[in-house]
Amino acid sequence: MCSGTLAIFSVLADLPVQMSITSAQDPPYFPGPFSINGQGWLQAPPQGLKGQAQKVFRLQILVTFGQNQSCGGMLMVKVLPAPSSSQVSFLEQEQNITVPEDVVPGTKVVQVQARGFDVRYEILSPVPCRLFSIGRADGVIRTAAPLELAPAAGSAVTALQVKAFERLRPWASVELNLTVTVRPVNRWPPRCVPALLMTQIPETAPVGTLLSTFTCVDPDCPGSTLDYQLRFHSTPGPASLCLNDRVLEVNATLDCDTRGDCFQHTASVLVLDGGQPRMTTEVPVLVMVTPVNEFSPVCVPRTFRVREDAGPCTLLGSVVGTDMDYPHDCIEYYTSGGAGTFAVDRLSGEVHLLGPLDYEQQKLYRLTVLVTDHSQDQDPTRHLSGSCTITIEVEDVNDHPPECEPPFQELTVHTSLGRSMEVTKVSCRVPQEPQRLAFSYGIIGGNSQSQFSLQGAVLVHDDLMLGPPWPEQPHTYELLIRVADAGPSTPHLSTTATVIVHLVPWRASTVATSTHRTTVPSVMTPLLVTDTEAFWQPAPWFVVVLTVTSALLLLALGWLLSRLLRGLAQVLPAPSKPAQALLLNSPSIQRTEGSIEGFMEAPRTETPQAPSSVMNLQHFDGSAQDSRTGREYLFNTRTGARRWL
């Protein structure tokens, strides 16, 4: 039997120990002395153990360690006969194994198998082996620790040297070299700073303005190159921003003066690593574009026309202001000038009339309208303004009736049979508006037999219209001539001139025709009397409530009065019949009754109207039309006397 070294055990390998054999090893039973080396291996005698089959050697072992500490034990060594034909060999040679790094400890990597009798396996190199272990009986190599490449430096490739030997003949062994390659697994996406980008930038920022720089690291492979991509999610599109390597910049003008989403840019930066499978990280990007008030508002000069009789709050028109900055309708309007006669609505720009207008005093107004923008800048105090001039033309309105000179005429006309003659000419004008000269004339009353006609302003008596028999007595005509302005201005106002004509018919003894004219001095001007009747029309519910309340009040008063009369009847004695007769026959009572009856009948009496005559008509110096009935009447401005026509 050949000599060799038998490894029996190793005790307290990490402590400084001393091991020795204390029992006797004298021949002839021992072929030579056994020994223990410094690593705790029991070594066979130098002469070997050939011929010592089936012998059992008892060895007393003493182990000394620490400070005078020791222990001992009996070791029995049995020598077995060597088989005649036994050789250990691996079924496969030189294997290369690849394993992913994300396997958990205890995962099977590979199983090695060797031929032999009762074969055992162990790892010879590296010693100690931290990452892998081998099953002593089955030869299965498993992971003993996590194989992550980042924390475990040098774990990418591991060269293993595996030994297979027979349990009863340790010297009968064979060795196998294995190469285990740890394949990296991409498990973690890149980590970026910042993880979310939110920033504000004015719309006037120039192209190339730096927004942010992204710093990303791949935890699976620090220092590896990453790929950056910019993706847009909002309407403005890729023209607004750009990504150069890791730097986000302004790519185009951000000026935003139209309706839409241009004030908000939403995008994301997609970061990809180079592992398998590829892991990505998405960094949301929100860029808010703040408005800048760049342009001043403007308005267009306009001209408005308004009638001089327009009432307060009349809408003349609107001033329209425009602004190139968004939003375009954030404009306020202010005025200067106009002396409080006009006002411009601050928000809508509508121009309203506030005070009265007079065409004769002022025909043209010029107002300066100031337009100011707001809410178009990040700074709420930043405003820009512009102005324009609007012209307001006052349209003339006929607000003065014509006045006739004289307003009242009385004439005596001697006529001839079959002839027409001019009686008088009505002269009228508008003192407040001398330029108004067009008038229309018409007889509206007193022309009972149609003996008179108007040729313009001339009153003409036409005898041709009369038929037989010819009147022999004088006749008086009270003619009412309506004079109205006929110009383009509205409304058309009118006045009434009174002409009393005493018509004396033709006689055979009459030699000549004469006309006697009596006029009223021009100082006496006619008065226009307007009777305005105001009435109140309450709501229906108010009438019902008032009626019910009045009825209840009358019932309450009646009940209270009845109670009061009953009380007085009980307290006061009834008067005797002679006293009642005396009271009724009293002169004072009779006079009172007579006065009451006279008062009640007084309104029924009417003053008899005196016959029409020239002397009575001389007391009236004006004429007017009643506003309610429409009847014409004459009046005296001094005495107030009236006469219906």
160 pLDDT more than 70: yes
- CB atoms inside a 10 Å sphere around CB 46: 10
Q: What is the DSSP letter of 602?
A: G
- Average pLDDT on 270-284 reads 90
State residue 635's pLDDT score.
79
Buried b (16+ CB within 10 A) or exposed e, 320-330: ebebebbebeb
pLDDT band at residue 187 under the 50/70/90 scheme? confident
| C-alpha distance from residue 349 to each of 148, 280, 505, 521, 620 (Å) | 75, 57, 73, 55, 56
Tokens 């009505």 correspond to what residue?
426
- DSSP 3-state assignment of 322? strand
pLDDT tens track for 576-617: 444 443 334 444 434 433 433 333 333 333 333 434 444 455
Closest CA relative to residue 57, chosen from 81, 14, 26, 87: 26
Question: What's the mean per-residue pLDDT of the chain?
Answer: 79
Residue 601's φ and ψ, nearest 5 degrees, are: -90, -10
Beta-sheet pairing, 428-429 with 458-462: unpaired
pLDDT-wise least confident of 106-115, 291-300, 350-359, 509-518: 509-518
Tokens 């153990």 correspond to what residue?
49
Biggest alpha carbon distance in the chain? 215
pLDDT tens track for 345-367: 999 999 999 988 888 788 899 99
Q: Locate the DSSP E strands across 398-474.
A: 403-404, 408-414, 420-425, 428-429, 439-445, 452-455, 458-462
| C-alpha distance from residue 584 to each of 189, 565, 578, 587, 597 (Å) | 127, 22, 10, 9, 16
pLDDT tens track for 36-48: 887 788 888 888 8
Closest CA relative to residue 436, chosen from 386, 383, 397, 392: 397
Give the span between the Cα atoms of 235 and 261, in whole angstroms. Answer: 6
State residue 183's pLDDT score.
83
pLDDT band at residue 155 under the 50/70/90 scheme? low
State residue 226's pLDDT score.
92
Sequence letter at residue 395: E
Sequence letter at residue 360: E
298 pLDDT more than 60: yes
Q: Which two tokens stand for residue 178?
A: 């294995």
pLDDT tens track for 476-491: 889 898 888 776 666 6
pLDDT tens track for 244-258: 989 999 988 888 777
Beta-sheet pairing, 385-395 with 364-373: antiparallel
State residue 596's pLDDT score.
34
Residue 306's φ and ψ, nearest 5 degrees, are: -140, 140
Pick the more confident residue, 130 or 81.
130
- DSSP 3-state assignment of 245? coil
169 pLDDT more than 70: yes
**Terminal Cα-to-Cα distance of the chain (whole angstroms):** 175
State residue 6's pLDDT score.
37
Q: What's the chain's length in residues?
A: 645
Render 165-228 in DSSP notation, one character per residue.
EESS-TTSEEEEEEEEEEE----S--EEESSSEEEEEETTPPTT-EEEE-EEE-TTSTT---EE
State residue 43's pLDDT score.
86
Tokens 């808010």 correspond to what residue?
288
pLDDT band at residue 142 under the 50/70/90 scheme? very high
450 pLDDT more than 90: no
pLDDT band at residue 152 under the 50/70/90 scheme? low
300 pLDDT more than 60: yes
503 pLDDT more than 60: yes
641 pLDDT more than 60: yes
- Average pLDDT on 525-530 reads 47
Find which of 224-238, 310-324, 610-624 is predicted with most confidence, using mean pLDDT: 310-324
Q: Residue 429 burial by CB count (10 A; 0-12/13-18/19+): exposed, middle or buried?
A: middle
**What percent of the chain has a predicted confidence (pLDDT) above 70?**
79
pLDDT tens track for 364-415: 999 999 999 988 888 888 899 999 999 999 988 777 788 888 888 888 888 7
Q: Residue 266 burial by CB count (10 A; 0-12/13-18/19+): exposed, middle or buried?
A: middle
Say if CB 304 and CB 319 are below 8 A apart: no
Closest CA relative to residue 181, chosen from 159, 153, 203, 148: 159
Closest CA relative to residue 195, chosen from 214, 210, 209, 211: 214
Tokens 């951000």 correspond to what residue?
254
State residue 572's pLDDT score.
67
Q: Which residues does 101 contact at the CB level (< 8 Å), separation at least 6?
A: 147, 148, 149, 155, 182, 183, 184, 185
Tokens 């508002």 correspond to what residue?
297
Render 91-124 in DSSP notation, one character per residue.
SS-SEEEEEETTPPTT-EEEE--EESSSEEEEEE
Give the span between the Cα atoms of 503 and 515, in whole angstroms. Answer: 9
Say if CB 216 and CB 224 are below 8 A apart: no
pLDDT tens track for 207-226: 889 999 999 998 878 888 89
